[in-house]
Amino acid sequence: MEKIKSLADLKKMQETLRAKIDLREKSNNPDSRIQVKVAMATCGIASGAKEVMEVFIDEFTKRNIDAVVTQTGCMGYCYAEPTVEITKPGNEPITFGYVDVKKAIRIIDKYVLNNELVDGIIPVNYETIENK
């Protein structure tokens, strides 16, 4: 192990190390961050949800966007897989269908960064127990 020679070194080291526990830090307080849920049931995975999830993680890290990416089970829109649900703090969740790698990047460019909608949004057509 290399010796840390100054406070500046320690701070630099912390910057690099922080990435390792970033996932834990973020999930400690999910409500204040952008949450991305990728549907990863059999149907989702078969249509490429794994690659889509990786794109989201990679892009967020690359662009330094504060977001949590998690996987969920089947959302029921098997015809529109891969589907991704995005919740921005203070907004209603929006579900995007037919998300491939290209579209994932478009969603980040348009919706995540600029609040512009992208085609392929699946309208909410269900009620949950919570809002009954």
If binding is defined by CB under 8 A, does position 30 make contact with another protein?
yes
CB of 74 to another protein, least distance (A): 9
If binding is defined by CB under 8 A, does position 113 make contact with another protein?
no
The rounded distance, in Å, linking the Cα atoms of 117 and 132 is 27
Measured from the CB atom, the residue of 2 and 119 that comes closer to another protein is 2
What DSSP string runs through 34-96? EEEEEE-SHHHHHTTHHHHHHHHHHHHHHHT--EEEEEE---S-GGG-S-EEEE-TTS--EEE
If binding is defined by CB under 8 A, does position 26 make contact with another protein?
yes
CB of 64 to another protein, least distance (A): 15
If binding is defined by CB under 8 A, does position 109 make contact with another protein?
no
**Tokens standing for residue 32:** 């204040």
**Tokens standing for residue 52:** 């889509």
Each residue 46-85 as x (binds another protein by CB under 8 A) or -, in order, gives -------xx--xx--x------xxxxxx------------
Contact set with another protein (CB under 8 A): 1-7, 9-11, 13-14, 17-18, 20-21, 23-24, 26-28, 30, 39-41, 53-54, 57-58, 61, 68-73
